[in-house]
A = this chain, B = another copy of it.
Amino acid sequence: VGWLSARALSGIPEVRAGDDVAALILRALGGDPPGEDEVVSIAHTIISKAEGAVVSLDQVSAGERALELGALQGRDPRVIQVVLDQSQEILRAQNGVLISRTHHGFVCANAGVDASNAAGPGTLVLLPRDPDASARRIRARLRGLSPSPPAAGGSGAGPGGEVPGHGGPAVMVTDTFGRAWRHGQTDIAIGLAGMAPLDDWRGRTDAEGLELRATWLAVADAAAGAADLAREKDSREPVVVIGGLQRFITDEDGPGALALLRPLDEDLFR
Contacts and interface: CB of A to CB of B under 8 A. Distances in A.
Interface of A: 1-10, 76, 79, 92, 94-95, 99, 106-107, 109-110, 113-115, 117, 121-122, 124, 176, 178-188, 197-199, 201, 204, 206, 208, 210-219, 221-223, 225-226, 228-235, 237, 240, 244-245, 247, 259-262, 266-269
A230 B4 contact: yes
B269 A269 contact: yes
Given A232-B247, A244-B230, A225 B186 contact: yes
B212 A114 contact: yes
A103 to B, nearest CB: 15
A201 to B, nearest CB: 6
B211 A233 contact: no
B213 A109 contact: yes
A107 B183 CA distance: 12
Contact of A183 (B94, B114, B218): B218
Contact of A225 (B5, B107, B226): B226
Contacts of A79: 210, 212
Contacts of A3: 5-8, 230
A40 to B, nearest CB: 15
A259 B217 contact: no
A206 B179 CA distance: 24
Contacts of A215: 176, 185, 233
